[in-house]
Chains A and B, each alone.
Chain A
Amino acid sequence: MNENQSASVENLQKIVENVVHLKIASDFLEVIISRLVAKGSAVKDNAGNYTLSVIRRKEYARMAQERTERVDRFNGQFLFLLEKEYGRKLNTEQMKEGMEKLYAILGQLTIEKSDLIARIVTRQNVENLPYEVNIHKLSSLLSKIEDQELRNAEFRAIKLLFRETSDDFYSFLFVLTQNLICIQILNLDPECQALEKKAFSEKALFLDTNILIGLVCPTDWQHKPAKSLLKFSSFLGIRCFVAGKTCEEYNSLLEEANRIFRKWESPLKFLADANNEFLSSFWSEKQADQSLTWDSYYHRTKDVGKILSDNGIQPYVEDLEKIKKNKHFERITEYVDQCYVVLKRRIKNLSVREHDAALLILIRNLRKQERNAMLGPNHWFITGDDSLLCVDNKINSLPDFADKVPSSMLFSIWLDMISPFLTIRLREGDAYETFTMLTKYQFALVPFQIDSDKLVKIQGNWTQYEWLEAKDIVRIQNQEWTKQYLRRLDQAKRKQDKSQAEEIGRIFADKLNQELTVIKDEKLKTLSEEKNALLGREEFLSKTVQEKTKESDERQKIITAQKEIIEQKQDIIESKDVELEKENTFKRKLRTVITIAGLLLIIFTVLAAAYTISPMTLEKVSFYTVFLIVGAILLFFGLAPERVVVSIVAKLGFPQSN
C-alpha cells in the first residue's frame, strides 16, 4: 500500500495476512479499525476506506525509518565479519547466501520461542513443547552452504555477531521477539481473551535453587536476570515463592561450599575460578572488602529467611511427605535423572533429583485448584535448568496429569513472555539489558572452572607455586591419571586400606611432578619466546629511534642554516635601514637649506625691489621676477618636493608610475 492511500477492510486483511501471516476475520478487523477512528488514529473516507491519520503516519514513518537504519547497520556489520572470517572478498552471490542463512537462523530462534510462549499463554497445542529453543541447530542450517570455507566462516561470523556486536543487532532481535510473541498470540487467539495485564496478579512463581543462588551470588551469570525477574514480577503483581525443599537444597550447597573452604589450603586467589558460586562470590566480595571473613559471609548467606524477605520472596511450606507419596514420584525422579544425563551428560545427585520431582508435582497439584486462569496456568516452577521441560513432556504421558501444560519454565522464556506487559521504561531499560545478556550467554565461550571439591583432594605444596595459574590446575584436574587417582583413593578409603592409599598417592605425586615440570617448561618456553619477541621489538624500536634521531639532526641542520640566512637578511635589512636613515637625514638637511635659500632669495628680491622701485624698467621687473620665481621654486622644493614633482609631472602630461 502506498503512503496516504486509503484501503478497504478486505485490503487491510490481506496486508495483515501477507506481512505477518496473521489471519483476522474482516468484521473483527473492522471493529478494531473503528476504535482507531474513534481515537483519531485513523480516518474513514466517504467510500468507506481507511487511512492512518497524518500524525500517526508521521510517527510510524519515523519509527520505521529508524529501525530500517538499524537493520542496515547490523547487516553491514555481519558482512564485514563474514568477509573477515572468510579471509577474502565476497562476491554478490556469497553475500546474498550469507545473509539468507543468518536470517534463517534468526527466524528459527525467534519464531520457535514466540510460538512456545503463545502456546503456553493461550493453552493451545501445549503437548510436546520443544525444550531446546536455542541455537544448537546452527550447524544443520548452515550445512546447505556448499563452500566449506564459507560455511565455517558463516558459523564463526554468526557467533561473533551474537557475542560482540553492537546495540543495533540486539535492539532488532528484542523488538522482533516481542512483536512475534504478540503476533503468535493473536494467531492462536485473535480476540486476545487471554491478554489481561491484571491476570498476572494471580500468578505464583516457585523459584528453583539455581535462581536463588543467582540472586545471592553476584558472580553468577544469572544474578542480573534473577534480579530483573523479581523486579518485573513485583511490577506486575506476581508473587514469588521458594519452597521448603528448595531452601534445603540451597543450604546443602552452601554447606558443601563451607566444607570445601574449611579444607582449602591453596592460595585464595584460585577461589575466583572455583565452580562453586558461593566460593567465587566470597572471593569477589573480598576484593572490595579485605576485612570480610568466610565466617561472616557464610552466616550472612545462610540466613535464607532474611534473603527471601529482602527480595520480596515468600517462603512456602509444602507437604513433602504427601508429595513423595504420589505414585509417580519415583518415576518422575528417574525422568529428572534421564533428561539431565541426555541433555547435560552429567549426573544429578539423588537429593536434587527428588527436589525437582517434588516441585514439578507440587505445581501440578496446585494447578488443580485454579479456576479460569488467564495467560496460561497460575503456578509455575521457574528454573535455569532446561532439562526440566524434557521431564515435563515425559510427565504428560503419565495418567493423572490431565493438564498438558508444562509445570516448569525457563526463566529466560518467562522474562520474554512478560516483557510485552511492562512499561516502556522498564522494557527499554532492564528488560532489553536482560534479554541481551541471556541471548549472548547462549553464544558465550564456556569459561574454565576449577573443580573446588577435587582441588581440596589433590592440593599440596604445588598449588603454592607463584607461576601456577588457574588454567594449570584445571589441566591437572582433567588428566585421566588424576581422575583415576581420585577413584582409587575413594575405593581405598572405603576399604580403609591405608597402604594402598599411600601407594596410589605416591604414583599420583610422580605423575603430578612430571606434569608440573612439563607445565613449567612450557611456561619458560613461552616466556622465552615472549622475551625474544620483546627484544626484537626493542631492537626495532631502537633502530627506528636512531633513524628518527638522524633525521632529526639533519632537520636541525637545515633549521640552523635557515636561521643563519634569516640573521644575514636581518643584518642586511638593518644596514639598509641605517643607510636609509642617513639618506633621510641628508635629505632633510638639504631641504632645510633649500627652504632657507628660497626664503632668503624672496626676501632679498622683495627688499631690493622696494629700494630700487624708481625708475622701474622692464629689465628690472624681469630681473626681480626671475629672482622671485627662483626663490618660490626653491621654497616649494624645500617644503613639499614630492607634491611639486607630482604636479609638474601631471602638468607636463607624463604618465604616473606606481
Chain B
Amino acid sequence: MDINLPNMRATLVRISQFVLQEESEIVRENLQEKVAEAALFGV
C-alpha cells in the first residue's frame, strides 16, 4: 500500500471501520471472510 495516497484520511477511516478480527482458531479463513463481509457491507 502506498504511504503517499492522495486521500489518506478517507482510506484510513474506512479501513478502521472493518471488523476484521473476531474469535477464531482458523485465522486464515477468518481473515479472508472478514474482508469479504466488509466488501458486502460496502464500508
Q: Which residues of A contact B (CB under 8 A)?
A: 1-3, 5, 7, 12, 15-16, 19-22, 24, 29, 32-33, 35-36, 39, 41-42, 50-52, 56-57, 59-61, 63-64, 67-68, 71, 99-100, 103-104, 106-108, 110-112, 115, 172, 175-176, 178-180, 182-187, 191-193, 195-197, 420-421, 423-424, 427
Q: Is the pair A36, B31 in contact by a Cβ cutoff of 8 Å?
A: no
The verdict on A423 contacting B23 (CB below 8 Å), with A71-B13, A108-B3, A183-B1 known, is: yes
- CA A3 – CA B32 in complex, angstroms? 21
Q: Is the pair A7, B40 in contact by a Cβ cutoff of 8 Å?
A: yes
B1-36 toward A: CB 8 Å interface, digit per residue (1/0)?
111110011011111111111110111110111111
Q: Which of B14, B19, B33 contacts A63 (CB 8 A)?
A: B19
Distance in Å: Cβ of B43 to nearest Cβ of chain A:
6
Looking at chain A's contact residues, the main secondary structure is helix
Residues of A within 8 A of B25 (CB): 197
The verdict on A3 contacting B16 (CB below 8 Å), with A107-B3, A187-B1, A192-B32 known, is: no
Q: Which of B12, B31, B35 contacts A16 (CB 8 A)?
A: B35
The verdict on A193 contacting B1 (CB below 8 Å), with A64-B41, A103-B12, A179-B15 known, is: no
Q: Is the pair A196, B27 in contact by a Cβ cutoff of 8 Å?
A: yes
Q: Which of B16, B31, B32, B37 contacts A56 (CB 8 A)?
A: B37
Residues of B within 8 A of A12 (CB): 36, 39-40
Please give the number of chain B residues whose Cβ is less than 8 angstroms from any Cβ of chain A in the complex: 38
Distance in Å: Cβ of A203 to nearest Cβ of chain B:
15
**6 extra interface residue pairs, beta carbon distance < 8 Å, beyond A20-B15, A57-B41, A420-B20:** A20-B14, A179-B20, A182-B31, A195-B27, A420-B27, A427-B21
Closest to A50 in B: B40
Residues of B within 8 A of A191 (CB): 28
Residues of A within 8 A of B15 (CB): 19-20, 176, 179-180, 183
Q: Is the pair A178, B20 in contact by a Cβ cutoff of 8 Å?
A: yes
Q: Is the pair B17, A68 in contact by a Cβ cutoff of 8 Å?
A: yes
Residues of A within 8 A of B21 (CB): 178-179, 182, 420, 424, 427
18 A-B interface contacts by CB (under 8 A): A7-B42, A16-B39, A21-B1, A32-B36, A42-B37, A52-B40, A52-B41, A64-B17, A67-B16, A103-B12, A106-B12, A111-B1, A112-B3, A176-B16, A183-B15, A183-B20, A420-B20, A423-B23
